[in-house]
Every structure is written in structure tokens, then in C-alpha cells.
């Protein structure tokens, strides 16, 4: 008597979802075996696509047949056994060698004859043709969606797949939460673990209500979908969906990832006001703080290099008391303050600049549009060159991704400028007032506030030989570089002419919004 194995397979892939479930297959095959008086000794089931060889349960069943445990297979249809040439050829070879004496299908008639084996190979070939043809049709549809600027995939967090229109739309429940998280991380005040906690607090959770995995958060932070582009097979495309953030904010997120991407160990809070504020001016390592308690019970805070470099011997052995460092911080804040007399003069001059700025704005917009058109031409030529065989795929993708990123940045600059107009005049006004109020900040004796102020208007804060130095951002470097004798005189606009050329270049505007709104 021939012994049979029942084999049921259900693919989880989109193109095979119409196939009946494993439970339904088992029910039908058990009834068929009973009606045909077939002796079934074991049932094999698995959820795996048959497009590619390597199904573990299927291989296990064939190995048992090769050992002689059974001599027949009962399946719903030949395409349940194989949709690729390797598995199909393996089944036919076992029939040729007599290891498989019988194949039974409720929907297909088979006999172990030359004609029967030929028809079986035709059935396997038809299954493979169906899979290949269906895959090509699916890819064709995906390519068409990409040409329309639509991502053919699961919507990223904050969006959802609209089944009726087959588009990706903002999710009202999570769109604002993801946007808030991205904006928070772009501020540079969060590490990956800290932003994970914030997202968990907002209700952005993973499976089982647990916090998102760090790799998932990193994918969110680096996904171009959120600023209007999307990536498919390594190539970036322009999307038609609603962006969540601007390209400018996305670039800030990438900068913050470099600075704060790695989780940091928490340390005890000993009220060190300037911990993590500066680095060593000689070896570049962090300046740490420690507390010393004198015999009289007084507590002092000292700052010094961590001496962690294994290649450079740091000579900065001096310990700087917190009081002395605070005085230097206060002095630097005073250095970028604007005298009252200068404030009035600058505000008066600013009023005269409004009409003159209109002409320079037109030139700026015209230059931006020219650069955008030039980039678009380069992208078109690059695509033509790739289709003509002049470029390899990797070179084409890297170059196109870079050009699209530059084009998106310029388009956002143009959109912002057309929307805001000569907003730099307002920003300049705010800066003048902010710089004038810097002196009041020093009088408040608020060390954290002065520290945060210096962090916002300067970078590369370093301590060497007991002296704190800062690289000032524009336009704060203008005030910091003024000699003391100039501060006591009337403002000379020929010396300070940089203030009245910023409207043409807009070079400081990317930082001004964050700095002046501090």
C-alpha cells in the first residue's frame, strides 16, 4: 500500500492571497483522501512562498520520501508544490527514480507515465509563468506609481494607506505627534534614547505598547518621505504626498544625529552649571567637573580636561573654579551686547533699508530660479545618459539623489523667500533688540540662562590655559570682534557695513530664526 504525505502551503505574499487557507486545504484533502481510500501517515504545512527554492518544510518532506518513509504526496494543486524550476524538477526526478509513485490532486489528474510527467512539468511551468508574469505586472504598476510620485509600500509612521484612493495620507492621530518629535530632535537637545522616551510619552509606541526600538526611531529620523521625497531601491524620487517637515529641518535632524545620536550615560546631578558646555582647547576632549569639599565644609566646583586621549598628551592640567568660569561667561555675554546709543542708530538705519531691499530681493529670486532650472536640466540629462548606457546604476542613483536633494533645498529657499519676503529686516530688528538686552542677562546672575545664550549664538566652546573662547555665529561675531575703543564711539556704518549687506546674501538667515527667537 502506498503511503501518502499531505502537503499544504499558503503564501503570505500579495499575489497569492486569493489561494484558500491552509485549514481549508487540509479539510478538502482529508475528505479527498477518505473518498479515495488513501493511507495518509503525516501532514506537512507551511506559510512560505514557492517562487524561490529553500522551503524548510517542503525539503523535510522530500528528504523523508527519499528515505522511503512515504511514496506519495497529496496536495491541493501542483502549484502548491512548486513555482520554481528547481523544486519542480526535483519532484519530477523523484517520480523518474520511483521514489514518488503517486501524486494526487483534487484539481489535477496525474499518472506516473511519460505523458503524465510531461503534463506535470507543464503544470509546474504554468505556475512559474503565472508567478513571473504577475510579478512583472506588479512591478509595472509600482513603476507607474513612482512616476506619479506615489510610494508603493506601507505608509511610514504618521501616515496611513488610503485603501479607496490607494494613496498615502496624513494620519490625524499620529501626524502631529511624529512632527513634534522630529522638530524636538532637530533642536539638538535630545539623544536617541531621550527622543524615544518623548515619543513614548506622546503615544508613539511599538508592538505590545512598548517603546519603539532605537533602529525604528533612526529610520524615522532619516526617512526622506517626511520632507516630500521617498526612496525606492536606493533611488530617491519626488513625492506628491503632503510633507510633514521641510528639507531644512531634515538637514538639521541629520546634524543632530551626528552630535547626539549615541545614547549617553546619565550621571548624578551635582548642580554643575557648565558640565558638557566646553571642550579642551588642546586635545579636544570634553571638559568635566568635580566637587571638592574643603576642611571648613565649603564646597567648590572645578572644571578640567578629562584627559581621555590615548594618542595626545594633554598639558591642560589647570583646574578652573566655577566662579572664575562664570565670570568669563558673563564677560563673553557682555562682549556681544549692543550699547543703547547704537541700538537707536541701527533701528533708524534699518527703516531706510526697507525700500532698497526690494530690488535686491528680485535679483535673489531670479538667481534661485536659474539654479533650480539648471539642476532640473542636469537631472534630465543624467536620466538620458543612464538610459543610453553612459552610467552604471550605482553612479546614476548616487548622482541623482544628490541633485534631487540640492534641488529640494533651493525650492524650499525660494518658497520661503517668496512667502516671507524681506523677513530679514524683521530678523535684524529682533537681533538688535536681543543684542541690546544681552547686558540685562548678565545682571540677572542666571548662570544657566547665560550658558544657554552662549550655546545658541556660538559654537566650538573650548577651554585652554584657564581661558574660555567661542566661535561666534553671524551676526554675533560682528559685536564680539569690535575693539573696546570702538564701542565707546558713535556707530560708524562704513565699519559696520556688513549689517546692510545681509539682505542681499541672506547668509545668516538659516540660523537667525532659531537664534533670535531664543
Are 347 and 323 in a shared domain? Answer: no
Residue 17 domain flag = yes
Last residue of a domain, one of 319, 335, 351: 335
Are 305 and 454 in a shared domain? Answer: no
Considering only CA atoms, which of 117, 116, 130, 31 is closest in space to residue 74? 31
Q: Which CATH number covers residue 247?
A: 3.90.1750.20
Q: Count up the domains in the chain and report the number.
A: 4
Are 316 and 344 in a shared domain? Answer: no
Last residue of a domain, one of 231, 260, 289: 260
Residue 174 domain flag = yes
Residue 79 domain flag = yes
Q: What is the dihedral of CA 327, 333, 335, 336, to 10 degrees?
A: 180
Gap between the Cα atoms of 343 and 340, Å rounded:
5
Residues 112-168: tens digit of each pLDDT: 677 667 777 777 766 666 666 666 666 666 677 777 888 878 899 999 998 888 888
Are 27 and 120 in a shared domain? Answer: yes
Highest mean pLDDT among 46-50, 306-310, 356-360: 46-50
Residue 268 domain flag = no
Residues 2-50: tens digit of each pLDDT: 999 999 988 765 444 445 688 888 998 999 999 999 999 999 999 888 8
Are 346 and 465 in a shared domain? Answer: yes
Residue 27 domain flag = yes
Are 54 and 132 in a shared domain? Answer: yes
**Taking a C-beta distance cutoff of 8 angstroms, is the pair 85, 11 a contact?**
no
> Average pLDDT, stretch 488-504?
46
Placement of cell 478538502 in the chain: 28
Q: What pLDDT, on a 0 to 100 scale, did the predictor assign at position 217?
A: 92
Residue 204 domain flag = yes
Question: What does the angle CA 354 – CA 360 – CA 365 come to, to the nearest 5 degrees?
Answer: 120
**Taking a C-beta distance cutoff of 8 angstroms, is the pair 11, 82 a contact?**
no
Retrieve residue 244's grid coordinates. Answer: 510633514
Are 354 and 237 in a shared domain? Answer: no
Q: Which CATH number covers residue 61?
A: 3.40.50.1390
Q: What pLDDT, on a 0 to 100 scale, did the predictor assign at position 502?
A: 41
Residue 153 domain flag = no
Residue 176 domain flag = yes
Considering only CA atoms, which of 482, 147, 159 is closest in space to residue 337? 482
Query: Does residue 261 register a pLDDT over 60?
Result: no
Last residue of a domain, one of 317, 335, 353: 335
Burial class of residue 261 (count of CB atoms within 10 Å of its CB; 0-12, 13-18, 19+): middle
Are 41 and 16 in a shared domain? Answer: yes
Q: What is the DSSP letter of 326?
A: H
Are 323 and 252 in a shared domain? Answer: no
Considering only CA atoms, which of 169, 167, 150, 149 is closest in space to residue 159? 169
> Average pLDDT, stretch 165-176?
90
Are 283 and 188 in a shared domain? Answer: no
| Helix ranges (DSSP H) in 261-387 | 322-335, 340-387
Mean pLDDT of the chain: 81
pTM score over 0.75:
no
Are 37 and 137 in a shared domain? Answer: yes
- Decide: helix, strand or coil at residue 461: strand
Q: What pLDDT, on a 0 to 100 scale, did the predictor assign at position 421?
A: 61
Considering only CA atoms, which of 285, 283, 278, 284 is closest in space to residue 320? 278
Q: What pLDDT, on a 0 to 100 scale, did the predictor assign at position 272?
A: 83
Gap between the Cα atoms of 41 and 130, Å rounded:
32
Are 493 and 346 in a shared domain? Answer: yes
Gap between the Cα atoms of 38 and 29, Å rounded:
10
Provide the percentage of residues in the chain whose pLDDT is more than 90: 21
> Average pLDDT, stretch 47-67?
89
Query: Does residue 496 register a pLDDT over 60?
Result: no
Boundaries of domain holding 187: 159-260
Amino acid at each position: 500500500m502506498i503511503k501518502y504525505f499531505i502537503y499544504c502551503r499558503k503564501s503570505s505574499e500579495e499575489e497569492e492571497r486569493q489561494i484558500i487557507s491552509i485549514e481549508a486545504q487540509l479539510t478538502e484533502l482529508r475528505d479527498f483522501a477518505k473518498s479515495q481510500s488513501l493511507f495518509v501517515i503525516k501532514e506537512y504545512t507551511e506559510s512560505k512562498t514557492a517562487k524561490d527554492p529553500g522551503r524548510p518544510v517542503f525539503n523535510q518532506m522530500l528528504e523523508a520520501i527519499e528515505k522511503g518513509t512515504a511514496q506519495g504526496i497529496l496536495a491541493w494543486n501542483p502549484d502548491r508544490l512548486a513555482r520554481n524550476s528547481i523544486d519542480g524538477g526535483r519532484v519530477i526526478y523523484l517520480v523518474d527514480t520511483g521514489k514518488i509513485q503517486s501524486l494526487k490532486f483534487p484539481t489535477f489528474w496525474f499518472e506516473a507515465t511519460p505523458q503524465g510527467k510531461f503534463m506535470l512539468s507543464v503544470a509546474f511551468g504554468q505556475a512559474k509563468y503565472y508567478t513571473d508574469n504577475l510579478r512583472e505586472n506588479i512591478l509595472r504598476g509600482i513603476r507607474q506609481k513612482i512616476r506619479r510620485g506615489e510610494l508603493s509600500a506601507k505608509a511610514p509612521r504618521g501616515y496611513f494607506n488610503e485603501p479607496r484612493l490607494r494613496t498615502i495620507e496624513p494620519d490625524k492621530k499620529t501626524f502631529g505627534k511624529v512632527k513634534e518629535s522630529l522638530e524636538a530632535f532637530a533642536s539638538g537637545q535630545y539623544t536617541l534614547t531621550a527622543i524615544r522616551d518623548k515619543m513614548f510619552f506622546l503615544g508613539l509606541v511599538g508592538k505590545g505598547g512598548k517603546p519603539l526600538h532605537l533602529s525604528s526611531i533612526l529610520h524615522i529620523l532619516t526617512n526622506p518621505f517626511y520632507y516630500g521625497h521617498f526612496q525606492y531601491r536606493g533611488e530617491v524620487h519626488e513625492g506628491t504626498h503632503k510633507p510633514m517637515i521641510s528639507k531644512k529641518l531634515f538637514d538639521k535632524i541629520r546634524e543632530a544625529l551626528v552630535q547626539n545620536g549615541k545614547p549617553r550615560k546619565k550621571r548624578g546631578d551635582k548642580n554643575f552649571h557648565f558640565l558638557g558646555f566646553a571642550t579642551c582647547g588642546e586635545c579636544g576632549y570634553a571638559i568635566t567637573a568635580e566637587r571638592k569639599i574643603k576642611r571648613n565644609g565649603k564646597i567648590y566646583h572645578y572644571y578640567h580636561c578629562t584627559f581621555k586621549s590615548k594618542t595626545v598628551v594633554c598639558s591642560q592640567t589647570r583646574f578652573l573654579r566655577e566662579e572664575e568660569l562664570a565670570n568669563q561667561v558673563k564677560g563673553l555675554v557682555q562682549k556681544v551686547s549692543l550699547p543703547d546709543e547704537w541700538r537707536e542708530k541701527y533701528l533708524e538705519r534699518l527703516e531706510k533699508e526697507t525700500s532698497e531691499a526690494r530690488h535686491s530681493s528680485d535679483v535673489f529670486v531670479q538667481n534661485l530660479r536659474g539654479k533650480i532650472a539648471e539642476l532640473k536640466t542636469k537631472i534630465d540629462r543624467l536620466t538620458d545618459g543612464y538610459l543610453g548606457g553612459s552610467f552604471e546604476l550605482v553612479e546614476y542613483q548616487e548622482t541623482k539623489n544628490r541633485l534631487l536633494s540640492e534641488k529640494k533645498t533651493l525650492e524650499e529657499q525660494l518658497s520661503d523667500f517668496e512667502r516671507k519676503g524681506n523677513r530679514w529686516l524683521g530678523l535684524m530688528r529682533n537681533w538688535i533688540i536681543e543684542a541690546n538686552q544681552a547686558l540685562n542677562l548678565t545682571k540677572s546672575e542666571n548662570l544657566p540662562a547665560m550658558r544657554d545664550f552662549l550655546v545658541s549664538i556660538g559654537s566650538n566652546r573650548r577651554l585652554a590655559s584657564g581661558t574660555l573662547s567661542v566661535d561666534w555665529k553671524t551676526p554675533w561675531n560682528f559685536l564680539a570682534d569690535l575693539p573696546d575703543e570702538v564701542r565707546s564711539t558713535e556707530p560708524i556704518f562704513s565699519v559696520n557695513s556688513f549689517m546692510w549687506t545681509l539682505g542681499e546674501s541672506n547668509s545668516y538667515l538659516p540660523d537667525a530664526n532659531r537664534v533670535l527667537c531664543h
